[in-house]
Structure 1
Amino acid sequence: MKKLFLYVIGSLIIQPVYSQHLIKGTIIDSENTVMPMVNVAFLNQADSTLVTGAVSDSCGVYSTSLAGGNYIIRYSYLGYETLFRSIQVNAHLTLPVVKMELAQTELEGVEVTAYRKPFKLDREGITADVPNTILARQTTLDDLLCKIPGIQKRGEDIEVIGRGLPTYYINGREVTDQTELDNLAIDQIQSVRLVTNTGVRYHSEQRAVIEIKTKRLGEGLAFNVSGNLLQGNYLSQNYKMNGSYNYKNWDFFLSYNYDRGKKDSNLDVYQQTQSDTIWNLTDLTRKQIFNESHAYTGGVSYHFSPESEIGLKYEGKYSEGNTFSKDTLSMIPDKGTSTFIRNLSDVSDKSVSNHLNLYYTNDWKNGWKMNAFGDYLHKTDRSRGNIREWESDGVETSMDYYRKADWDLFAAKLNLSYETGKAGTFSFGYDFSHTTGTDYIEYVRALNNGSTSNTEMKNSLYLSYDYTWNQLSLGAGLRYEHIRSDLKENSSHKNQNQTYHNFLPSVSLSYNTESLQQSLTYSVHTERPPFGVMNDNAVYTDRFTYQKGNLYLKQALTHDLNYMLFYKYLFVSLR
């Protein structure tokens, strides 16, 4: 009797799972080409309420699971007629292929066909229009970006395939803090442009650029508050506030972002070093990381016309965190005595940054366009740490350290272009930046103290020409950079002065038709080490390991050859 009771209860629990049936199908257009990103809604036949939904993938295939019953399927896509189909579900089903037809509207005997492509390929990359497309339905900026061909998310970072982390621009202004992107609402975005052929208009270190253009809101007051709580191993919190007031030609805006979270990070390292003695290293690291940050933005802009604007913007950020780590390390040689170490590290850090930006843009409608930007950025980092070690004999070693870094950046940028019409477009630009900073580290009862000063001045000029004839577009440009870098190790008075004269050409060719778009580009870029590793400071990890910078690192030149093809919904990139 007991077994029978358990069988009945188990059947009641399992029955809903087994009653689910797999439903799948394929969607094509009037030219028998597969259609991705079509919305497929499954409605209850009795009251037309939504039961579940799906979106067709890059092969035009959609799938979902449904319980047995009668349903109505609704197929919808912008610019196409909405279709309805009735189905009865009592088993796994592969539905007939659905053909979507373009929507047509008659107006006084004139037939108008509306169809909007979300993506467009040109010589520099891909442009995605956001309003009235599938992109406008995304909830976060990361979700939107991952729908653009060539962009993927790896971990918590957005990457451009083959080119690493991109540089972001909003309305032509370079983004210096990720929080500004986090505060950007989807309904504020007009278009997103992925530039894989950065050419001469951008800094030579920038291998991929994402340009975001926003819409101007209507007159009045707008205010938005949102929050997010995520419970995993720990509770993470994020709260955002955005406000704006637009009156005639004036725009006032502000935002605030609070973020707080904790996470675990584990890393296991196994390494063998071969010399006269073979050393076998095993390092097991367990970290707990806590971060809390406050970011705030405010500014004002004045519109002389829809194409002309001047503005002032301030961005500030304060963050603090703590990292506690436990290391278990063993160093075993093939001959001699083995060493076993247990290491506890407790590091707290604080960071403060302030960024002031002045900008002016104008399109005179007679062929001339101008963008001008000026920036001042100051950043301060402070950290304190304590390291305690126990070796196999039980002897304890303790070490405290203090580290600080201060950086100032002055930058200016001018872009000027003239579109002649039949003779093409000429563009000219000038970039200036001056960076100064000091990186200092002090160990208590240790000899790894250090202080390094860095100063860099960069002047850049570029000239480019673009010409379009029917479906064919040509582009060529040359960028010149003069860079002087002075590095000084203050305690030992070692100096490293470097001067670069870089001539960086770029050429591109593209051919676009209604269904086929392709481009071929060649460009030269520089790769330079960051200031954080161009110093003589030593960071202690354990008695076997420490990290030290290098004053003598130099730049490298990279030659890029890239081919891209966009055929209907197929995207190919060869680099």
Structure 2
Amino acid sequence: MMKPIRLFLLPLFTLLLFNFVQAQTPGARISGFILDDTKKPLDGATVILLAAKDSSVVSTQLVNPDGGFVFKNVKDNTYLIKATYIGYKTYQSIPVIVNQQKPVNLPPFILSLAGKRLNEVAITAKKSYVQQKIDRTVVNVGALISNTGASALEVLAKTPGVQVDAEGNITFKGKSGVMVMIDDKPTYLSAANLATYLRSLPSSSLDQIELMDNPPAKYDAAGNAGVINIKTKKNTTRGFNAVVSANYALGFYGRTDESINMNYRVDKINIFANLAYNKQKTFRRLEIDRDYFDANGDRTSSLKDISYFRPSGNNTNIKAGMDFYSSPKTTWGLVFTGDISRDHDSSPVYSLLYGKSGGLDSTINTLNTSTNKFDSKGINLNYTHKFDSTGRTLTFDLDYIHDAAGSNQLFVNNTFLPDGTLTNSQTLTDNLPSTINIYSAKADYAHPLKGKAKLEAGVKSSYVSTDNAANYFNVVDNVSTIDYNNTNRFLYKENINAGYVNFNKTLGRFSLQTGLRAENTNGSGHQLGNAQKADSSFVKHYTNLFPTAYFSYNLDTAGHNVLVMSYGRRIGRPSYGSLNPFTFFVDKFTYFSGNPFLKSQFTDNYKLAYSFKSLFTVALAYNYTTDVQGETIHNSNNVFISTQGNIGRQKTINLSANSNFQPAKWWSVNLYAEVYKNTYQGAFYTGYLNQSQYTFSGNGNNQFTISKTWSAELSGFYDNGGTYGQFVVLPKGMLNAAIQKKILNNKGTIKLNARDIFHTFRPSGTITNIVGANANFHNFLDTRVATLAFTYSFGKLTNTPQKRDTGGAESEQGRAH
């Protein structure tokens, strides 16, 4: 009943709101556009509304991506409008008269180049760490000194509302299943490969992180916890310019990162490239304690596993492309992306098996050695056409991505008696090749309407094919024989067709945005048989609707106090690897296995938020998810098998607050805190799962301006633990500090950063609801790291309109392998 009621109430609610705002009396507005001398919009320019009488500031805002601006609810008076943009001369209008609340539409303001290079201009303003928008939170990566030398994954771990566990799994506002995108494009990676990629991506290549717990209909509906969009740096300047950076970090082992971001713009051609290379070796110690029980609840044995992980490797990331401005209104773009990773890991596991009386029965030493490679190549063709200055725009993207991965592993298990006598030896090898091909095409159209309204529509189609093989061999006396019990090959194909419409309108103090997205999914999987196992296959076809709605109201005429209500529905499709029924060995007592019967999960998101001048925001959110996907652990003959399963229902209520303030001219602070409760209910291995817990989590950072060339930072986070399906985690936290010095006429920067100073980030907890066993785990991670970094900028620095280098591969990115 809930689904038809929801689909009925949403259009009715939208219609009532629209009629309500139409009935309101609109205030006067002043609107216009800010363009450069080539008639292209200056996205990011600042527009200031001044009272003509005394030049006092009435209101300030940044222009939209199309260069447009609107001052709403303007009282009758005479005004001046000032427009500024770095590298351009300041523009000030002639007096603008507002009379009888009639709207004023101004001709475009044309800003001319200042004729100076950027290094000759003293810039004192800097971006805030966190900025609030109606449908997302924007985090400016470079605003934190401690982000210097960190990886993209480490930057995410410090982002408000985001948590990263020891394996690199990402949760957002207490929920898993978030879709991570790079420049509006999905990564098409499994959770493990995504973590590896983000560890290799240096923070020097990042610009912003967009957090969307309820994305608009334009975005793919995938990701039940919302979307995290990582935006990389994009040069927007004429001539040649570049930024180079290098750093050396020392934790348990040393690691290095180097990158260069280049851009060359001449006439109608813009060429850009971003290259990054890193070499690293890290450390992790994992302890898992298990107790086994009989049917009467009496302990029969216990096991202590101690694993040491020392992965080492190198990674190269490449992003290069070209924009061709065929006319003032039309732009063609071509973007190539590449990722080459090679790593090696020797991870010994020491297992101590104790009997019923607590005495040591035997020890098992496992040598787990693996050599891995991952290569990814992608190409994107994009097109943008602006029909006129009103914002009527057509865009399309064509994408192709090819990923190839491979792993060769060696497992040697030796069992000893307490006196050191060898009783058993087992050797197992495997070869795990994997390929994935992704094709995507999408088109989007935006059409402004009368009365400050806008209609958007778009279509998308994607096709994905994966081929994963697992070749296992038992080795006896140096002779290898096929292990048919674990050897198989899995093929998966998926096609998703989608379309959406989105409407927004502003009238007086009210703003309304509603959208509806439809997605049709067609998937098929085939597990090939072998000499001892038969084939198996499955086919899935389903179509779903995903409505979204936003409603905002300015509590005052200046727009300083704003209320926002929103609703959205999301889907979490299984990752391609989760559907693959492979078995992956960690040691003799721990396996990972796929689940071809895993179902998609669906989430309804409700949110009410209040913000004051983007300086303070408080929000209350409620999320309800069905067929929750999560890691499950079950016990089979004293072997723990981990797989993705549908746990049941999840209810999450979240109260969060974010604040930016400046106690002194030399000191600025950003604080984020949230309290949420996760409740899991549903059928489980042990019967019925009913688990819930309140969690408090907070982030904070302090920025200190010591002088014109010296600055410092103190930041950290704390989490008091919580419940996530079967897992109950203990408190953890981290404190960071950094200091920065500008050199070489402010073109260069030297930074020293210390992360996790007291080494308090040690994720640990308990695994519950295991038949015939219980377990707890403790991690000791290589997170206490000191980094020395150098950055240098050179070349001409005169701003010009920004290129578009994003693509259309969106929802499939976080699901590969």
Q: Cα 1:123–1:273, aligned 2, differ >3 Å: closer, same or farther?
A: farther
Q: Could you tell me which residue of structure 2 aligns to residue 382 of structure 1? A: 406
Structure 1 window deviating more from structure 2 (200-209 vs 149-158): it is: 149-158
Q: Could you tell me which residue of structure 1 aligns to residue 215 of structure 2? A: 198
Q: Could you tell me which residue of structure 2 aligns to residue 289 of structure 1? A: 311
Q: Cα 1:181–1:292, aligned 2, differ >3 Å: closer, same or farther?
A: closer
1:391 equivalent among 410, 415, 435: 415
Q: Could you tell me which residue of structure 2 aligns to residue 463 of structure 1? A: 501
SS at match of 1:533: helix
Offset of residue 441 of structure 1: 0.9
If you compute each CA radius of gyration, which structure gives the higher value, 1 or 2?
1
Q: Could you tell me which residue of structure 2 aligns to residue 350 of structure 1? A: 373
Q: Could you tell me which residue of structure 1 aligns to residue 619 of structure 2? A: 573
Instruction: Give distance in 2, aligned partners of 1:114 and 1:320.
Output: 53
Contact residue 372 and residue 414 of structure 1 kept, 8 A: yes
Instruction: Give distance in 1, aligned partners of 2:149 and 2:347.
Output: 33
Offset of residue 129 of structure 1: 8.5
Contact residue 237 and residue 263 of structure 2 kept, 8 A: no
Contact residue 227 and residue 237 of structure 1 kept, 8 A: yes
Offset of residue 472 of structure 1: 1.4
Q: Could you tell me which residue of structure 2 aligns to residue 220 of structure 1? A: 239
Q: Could you tell me which residue of structure 2 aligns to residue 505 of structure 1? A: 547
Contact residue 375 and residue 403 of structure 2 kept, 8 A: yes
1:257 equivalent among 276, 281, 296: 276
Offset of residue 362 of structure 1: 2.9
Q: Could you tell me which residue of structure 1 aligns to residue 290 of structure 2? A: 271
SS at match of 1:399: strand
Instruction: Give distance in 2, aligned partners of 1:158 and 1:184.
Output: 21
Q: Cα 1:212–1:511, aligned 2, differ >3 Å: closer, same or farther?
A: farther
Structure 1 window deviating more from structure 2 (160-169 vs 318-327): it is: 160-169
Instruction: Give distance in 1, aligned partners of 2:445 and 2:305.
Output: 55
Q: Could you tell me which residue of structure 2 aligns to residue 441 of structure 1? A: 470
SS at match of 1:478: strand
The CA deviation string for residues 471-515 of structure 1, in whole angstroms up to 9 with x for no partner, is: 211222211111111111101210011111111112221123532
Q: What are the ranges of 5 or more consecutive residues in structure 2 without an aligned counterpart?
A: 1-47, 63-127, 189-196, 475-482, 622-817
Offset of residue 159 of structure 1: 6.2
The CA deviation string for residues 321-367 of structure 1, in whole angstroms up to 9 with x for no partner, is: 01111111234454899443111111111111101111112333244
Contact residue 106 and residue 112 of structure 1 kept, 8 A: yes
Offset of residue 546 of structure 1: 2.2
Matched to 1:244, the amino acid is: N
Instruction: Give distance in 1, aligned partners of 2:597 and 2:49.
Output: 66
Structure 1 window deviating more from structure 2 (357-366 vs 288-297): it is: 357-366
Instruction: Give distance in 2, aligned partners of 1:464 and 1:376.
Output: 27
Offset of residue 303 of structure 1: 2.2
Q: Could you tell me which residue of structure 1 aligns to residue 598 of structure 2? A: 553
TM-score w.r.t. the length of structure 1 is: 0.72
Instruction: Give distance in 1, aligned partners of 2:155 and 2:368.
Output: 39
Is 1:537 the equivalent of 2:582? Answer: yes
Is 1:329 the equivalent of 2:348? Answer: no
Contact residue 201 and residue 276 of structure 2 kept, 8 A: no
Matched to 1:428, the amino acid is: A
The CA deviation string for residues 144-196 of structure 1, in whole angstroms up to 9 with x for no partner, is: 989986567778888643455553353x555666499647657xx5x765433
Instruction: Give distance in 2, aligned partners of 1:137 and 1:348.
Output: 32
Instruction: Give distance in 2, aligned partners of 1:386 and 1:144.
Output: 34
Offset of residue 571 of structure 1: 1.9
Offset of residue 549 of structure 1: 1.2
Instruction: Give distance in 2, aligned partners of 1:255 and 1:524.
Output: 36
Q: Cα 1:271–1:469, aligned 2, differ >3 Å: closer, same or farther?
A: farther
Count how many residue pairs are aligned between Structure 1 and Structure 2.
Answer: 467
Q: Could you tell me which residue of structure 1 aligns to residue 461 of structure 2? A: 432
Which protein, 1 or 2, shows the higher relative CO under an 8 Å CA cutoff with sep ≥ 6? 2
The CA deviation string for residues 33-87 of structure 1, in whole angstroms up to 9 with x for no partner, is: xxxxxxxxxxxxxxxxxxxxxxxxxxxxxxxxxxxxxxxxxxxxxxxxxxxxxxx
Instruction: Give distance in 1, aligned partners of 2:466 and 2:443.
Output: 25
Q: Cα 1:120–1:467, aligned 2, differ >3 Å: closer, same or farther?
A: farther
Contact residue 179 and residue 257 of structure 1 kept, 8 A: no
Q: Could you tell me which residue of structure 2 aligns to residue 53 of structure 1? A: none
Offset of residue 229 of structure 1: 0.9
Is 1:341 the equivalent of 2:361? Answer: no
SS at match of 1:563: strand
Q: Could you tell me which residue of structure 2 aligns to residue 71 of structure 1? A: none
TM-score w.r.t. the length of structure 2 is: 0.52
SS at match of 1:503: strand
Q: Cα 1:217–1:201, aligned 2, differ >3 Å: closer, same or farther?
A: closer
Once the two structures are superposed, the pairs formed by residues 91-490 of structure 1 within 5 Å of their partners are 110-112=55-57, 121-126=132-137, 150=161, 160-163=172-175, 165=178, 167-170=180-183, 173-174=185-186, 178=198, 182=202, 193-206=210-223, 207-210=226-229, 212=231, 217-276=236-295, 278-304=300-326, 308-332=330-354, 334=356, 338-364=361-387, 365-393=389-417, 394=422, 395-422=424-451, 424-445=453-474, 446=483, 447-490=485-528
Instruction: Give distance in 1, aligned partners of 2:597 and 2:363.
Output: 35
Contact residue 474 and residue 510 of structure 1 kept, 8 A: yes
Matched to 2:236, the amino acid is: L
Q: Cα 1:489–1:376, aligned 2, differ >3 Å: closer, same or farther?
A: same
Q: Cα 1:415–1:572, aligned 2, differ >3 Å: closer, same or farther?
A: same
Contact residue 270 and residue 282 of structure 1 kept, 8 A: yes
Offset of residue 240 of structure 1: 0.8
Contact residue 135 and residue 144 of structure 1 kept, 8 A: no
Instruction: Give distance in 2, aligned partners of 1:202 and 1:230.
Output: 37
Instruction: Give distance in 2, aligned partners of 1:465 and 1:333.
Output: 67
Is 1:495 the equivalent of 2:540? Answer: no
Instruction: Give distance in 1, aligned partners of 2:200 and 2:567.
Output: 32
Q: Cα 1:470–1:174, aligned 2, differ >3 Å: closer, same or farther?
A: farther
Instruction: Give distance in 1, aligned partners of 2:146 and 2:293.
Output: 56
SS at match of 2:341: strand
Contact residue 307 and residue 348 of structure 2 kept, 8 A: yes
SS at match of 2:218: coil
Matched to 1:161, the amino acid is: K
Instruction: Give distance in 2, aligned partners of 1:306 and 1:144.
Output: 38
SS at match of 2:310: strand
Contact residue 434 and residue 455 of structure 1 kept, 8 A: yes
SS at match of 1:198: coil
Offset of residue 537 of structure 1: 1.6
Matched to 2:416, the amino acid is: S
Contact residue 438 and residue 462 of structure 2 kept, 8 A: yes
SS at match of 1:425: strand
Q: Cα 1:247–1:179, aligned 2, differ >3 Å: closer, same or farther?
A: farther
Q: Could you tell me which residue of structure 1 aligns to residue 572 of structure 2? A: 527
Instruction: Give distance in 2, aligned partners of 1:407 and 1:425.
Output: 38
SS at match of 2:220: coil
Matched to 1:311, the amino acid is: G
RMSD: 3.6
Contact residue 463 and residue 478 of structure 1 kept, 8 A: yes
